[in-house]
Amino acid sequence: MRDSCKVSIVLLLVLINGVLGDNPYRFFTWKITYGDIYPLGVKQQGILINGQFPGPHIDAVTNDNIIISVFNYLREPFLISWNGIQQRKNSYQDGVIGTTCPIPPGKNFTYIIQVKDQIGSFYYFPSLAFHKAAGAFGAIRVWSRPRIPVPFPSPDGDFWLLAGDWYKTNHYVLRRLLEAGRNIPFPDGVLINGRGWGGNTFTVQPGKTYRFRISNVGTATTLNFRIQGHTMKLVEVEGSHTIQNVYTSLDVHLGQSYSVLVTANQAPQDYYIVVSSRFTRKVLTTTSILHYSNSRRGVSGPAPSGPTLNIASSLFQARTIKRNLTASGPRPNPQGSYHYGLIKPARTIMLANSAPWINGKQRYAVNGASFVAPDTPLKLADYFKIPGVFNLGSIPTNPPGGNGGYLTTSVMAANFREFIEIVFQNWENSVQSWHISGYSFFVVGMDGGQWTQGSRSKYNLRDAVSRSTVQVYPRAWTAIYIALDNVGMWNIRSENWARQYLGQQFYLRVYTSSTSYRDEYPPPKNALMCGRARGRHTRPF
Q: Which of the four pLDDT bands, split at 50, 70 and 90, describes residue 13?
A: very low
The predicted pLDDT at position 3 comes to 46
Q: Which of the four pLDDT bands, split at 50, 70 and 90, describes residue 7?
A: very low
DSSP state string for 177-212: HHHTT-PPPPP-EEEETTB-TT--EEEE-TT-EEEE
Q: Which of the four pLDDT bands, split at 50, 70 and 90, describes residue 4?
A: very low
Residues facing residue 350 across a β-bridge: 423
DSSP state of 101: P
The predicted pLDDT at position 192 comes to 98
48 contact partners, CB below 8 Å, separation of at least 6: 32, 33, 34, 35, 37, 55, 135, 136
Q: Which of the four pLDDT bands, split at 50, 70 and 90, describes residue 528?
A: very high
Q: Which of the four pLDDT bands, split at 50, 70 and 90, describes residue 465?
A: very high
Mean pLDDT computed over 277-292: 98
Cα separation, 369 vs 405, in Å, equals: 6
Cα separation, 322 vs 289, in Å, equals: 30
Among residues of the chain, what percentage have pLDDT more than 90? 93
The whole-model pTM stands at 0.95
Q: Which of the four pLDDT bands, split at 50, 70 and 90, describes residue 17?
A: very low
Q: Which of the four pLDDT bands, split at 50, 70 and 90, describes residue 177?
A: very high
**Tens digits of per-residue pLDDT, 306-362?**
999 999 999 999 999 999 999 999 999 999 999 999 999 999 999 999 999 999 999
Per the CB < 8 A criterion, the answer to whether 24 and 37 are in contact is: no
The predicted pLDDT at position 338 comes to 96
The predicted pLDDT at position 169 comes to 96
**Tens digits of per-residue pLDDT, 74-102?**
999 999 999 999 999 999 999 999 999 99
Domains, the chain, ordered by start: 25-143 (2.60.40.420), 157-320 (2.60.40.420), 340-533 (2.60.40.420)
Q: Which of the four pLDDT bands, split at 50, 70 and 90, describes residue 18?
A: very low
Cα separation, 98 vs 509, in Å, equals: 11
**Tens digits of per-residue pLDDT, 374-433?**
999 999 999 999 999 999 999 999 999 878 999 999 999 999 999 999 999 999 999 999
Cα separation, 109 vs 260, in Å, equals: 35
pLDDT at position 494 over 90: yes
What is the greatest pairwise CA distance in the chain?
A: 69
The predicted pLDDT at position 20 comes to 45
Mean pLDDT computed over 62-83: 98
Cα separation, 460 vs 437, in Å, equals: 23
Mean pLDDT computed over 358-367: 97
Sheet architecture: strand order including 25-37: 44-49, 25-37, 65-72, 108-114
Q: Which of the four pLDDT bands, split at 50, 70 and 90, describes residue 106?
A: very high
Cα separation, 281 vs 284, in Å, equals: 9
Rounded to a whole number, what is the distance in angstroms from the first to the last CA of the chain? 18
Mean pLDDT computed over 456-478: 98
Q: How many helices (H) and strands (E) does the chain have?
A: 5, 36
Mean pLDDT computed over 233-244: 98
Average pLDDT, the chain: 95
Mean pLDDT computed over 449-467: 98
Residue 477, CA distances (Å) to 271, 428, 431, 473 in order: 37, 11, 11, 7
Cα separation, 246 vs 234, in Å, equals: 6
The predicted pLDDT at position 9 comes to 46
Where do the H-state alpha helices sit in 307-375?
Answer: 311-320
Q: Which of the four pLDDT bands, split at 50, 70 and 90, describes residue 538?
A: confident
Cα separation, 538 vs 528, in Å, equals: 10
The predicted pLDDT at position 14 comes to 43
**Tens digits of per-residue pLDDT, 121-139?**
999 999 999 999 999 999 9
- Looking only at the bridges linking them, the beta strands covering 270-278 and 250-252 are unpaired
Cα separation, 393 vs 383, in Å, equals: 18
The predicted pLDDT at position 540 comes to 60
The predicted pLDDT at position 537 comes to 84
Per the CB < 8 A criterion, the answer to whether 324 and 243 are in contact is: yes
